[in-house]
Amino acid sequence: GQNIDQPTEMTATEGAIVQINCTYQTSGFNGLFWYQQHAGEAPTFLSYNVLDGLEEKGRFSSFLSRSKGYSYLLLKELQMKDSASYLCAVGDYGQNFVFGPGTRLSVLP
Is 69 one of the binding residues for another protein (CB under 8 A)?
A: no
Task: Return the SS3 of 22.
Answer: strand
Window of 14-22, 56-64, 66-74, 92-100 that interacts with another protein by CB under 8 A: 92-100
Length of the chain in residues, anyone?
A: 109
- Say if residue 11 is exposed, middle or buried (CB neighbours under 10 Å; 0-12, 13-18, 19+): exposed
Binding of another protein at residue 3 (CB under 8 A)? no
| Stretch in the footprint of another protein (CB under 8 A) among 13-21, 36-44, 59-67, 75-83 | 36-44
Q: Which CB atom, from 6 or from 75, has the smaller least distance to another protein? A: 6
> Which positions lie near another protein, rule CB under 8 A?
30-31, 33, 40-45, 48, 50, 87, 89, 91, 94-102
